[in-house]
Structure 1
């Protein structure tokens, strides 16, 4: 990306995060009704309104780019530039009043995520990752310094996963084997956990059944903080990946983790 293209993309992603935050916050900790999608995951009016608001910004600013959103699918046909949006990653957390959900905004170029943004509207925290650059962490209220922490052995690692229920029958025993070789497991967090990994608070995250809107924004953020994020085989994440995601703060730990998940 040229500097001008990059800055336009960062500005657009920031504007999207701002409007999503403004849209979502009034619904937080209210008696909001959720509808069940085809996969039985919940969706609310907050999800739909926030995604539409972001789509409007991107369509106005970058009409030549395609957009893929969790709630409204694909629009546009540009093969090189694709925005991937998840207005509320962690709708269950949002519905139960826990500030561990987030808005995920990513820009793919020729199938690879080159820009990623994680925004937590309630805490006011924001992570911005750009391929090849250090991740930025923006927060007016909560402390945090970008940079993953050293953890060369799985036995010393803090492992995190959103919920046991996301594991399929074939993935559950592999995850359980990883658990046996790590220090302890914490549950919950959705995309917020990846932000914490980028701040050096968590060492390993392993999840499956993930879609591009679940992981696209996480790749530049984690890698820009010094970590690695791959599938469970240690391969690069692409739009055709199998839905497994493995993130670690210490890159030297990756081969051991892949071994335990094999």
Structure 2
């Protein structure tokens, strides 16, 4: 594993940078279509999806791939990449600069490495979460190479809690933090890892919205609670994850998760 992790990081950095160059040129310039689940898709999503699959296959031929736009069946490979070719397609299509590429690397069904690249923000997050995997290697979470960790602050109206658009019902209840709707699931999780937000909730994220950010959040010391009855990870080979939502809550620490949970569940 000595050379494997540097290869993984270098691959993610160079690949997302190359693909982002083309995506930036297309942002807000191509039409979007509505998918069956109500989310938007553009030709840029489909191009990015194909490019990422091809590059992963060339660099890591023994690894499986699950992506938002094409392959939804989780493969039996020990190693599998879960790809969101553009997280934040609505922002991308409308010219809002908060969107990115999300890559999660899973080992035997559980994410052990995540990489998020937000080109117009000039931010790349990555993190290693090897606990209970039997693997050895680096640890920690990073933004542009600098270590990051969650905030230890107490909730107040000077601190942030992130929502997805489908969680807006929470606005009907008093909440201990200021609320933000950014429109990018992976970035919402990354902001908690960075310490910029104390928590957040997502009502209908799919596995590609979570897989890249989950190891970054945990490596930074954060908490993730999936609100489905079954465990989030490991994923099961042969299962179709295309239509499966994963409502969840994130928090900077366990005590805040206990504080946020009843407020979120009240509007689920």
Do the aligned partners of residues 77 and 232 (structure 1) sit closer, same or farther apart at CA in structure 2, a change above 3 Å counting? closer
Query: What is the CA-CA distance between 1:14 and the residue it aligns to?
Result: 2.4
- Name which of structure 1's ranges 88-97 and 77-86 shifts more when overlaid on structure 2: 77-86
Q: What SS does the corresponding residue of 2:3 show, helix, strand or coil?
A: helix
How far apart are the structure 2 equivalents of 1:82 and 1:135? 20
Query: What is the CA-CA distance between 1:260 and the residue it aligns to?
Result: 3.2
Q: 1:106-255 counterparts in 2 under 5 A?
A: 106-132=104-130, 133-138=139-144, 146-153=148-155, 157-163=159-165, 166-167=166-167, 175=170, 180-190=174-184, 191-232=186-227, 237-238=232-233, 239=235, 243-255=246-258
Structure 2 equivalent of residue 20 of structure 1:
19
Query: What is the CA-CA distance between 1:135 and the residue it aligns to?
Result: 0.9
How far apart are the structure 2 equivalents of 1:76 and 1:16? 22
Structure 1 equivalent of residue 6 of structure 2:
7
Structure 2 equivalent of residue 79 of structure 1:
77
Q: 1:37-48 counterparts in 2 under 5 A?
A: 37-48=35-46
Aligned residues of 1:17 and 1:119 also touching (Cα < 8 A)? yes
Aligned residues of 2:227 and 2:246 also touching (Cα < 8 A)? no
Provide, for residues 167-210 of structure 1, a one-character-per-residue CA deviation record: whole Å limited to 9, x for no partner: 4xxxx76x457x52322211124132322222221111101111
How far apart are the structure 1 equivalents of 2:222 and 2:230? 14
Provide, for residues 116-169 of structure 1, a one-character-per-residue CA deviation record: whole Å limited to 9, x for no partner: 111111121100111151111118xxxx87222113458875211131xx24xx
How far apart are the structure 2 equivalents of 1:153 and 1:117? 28
Do the aligned partners of residues 129 and 201 (structure 1) sit closer, same or farther apart at CA in structure 2, a change above 3 Å counting? same
RMSD: 2.7
Aligned residues of 1:70 and 1:86 also touching (Cα < 8 A)? yes
Do the aligned partners of residues 157 and 251 (structure 1) sit closer, same or farther apart at CA in structure 2, a change above 3 Å counting? farther
Match of 2:55 among 47, 54, 57: 57
**TM-score scaled by structure 1?**
0.83
Number of corresponding residues? 248
Structure 2 equivalent of residue 259 of structure 1:
262
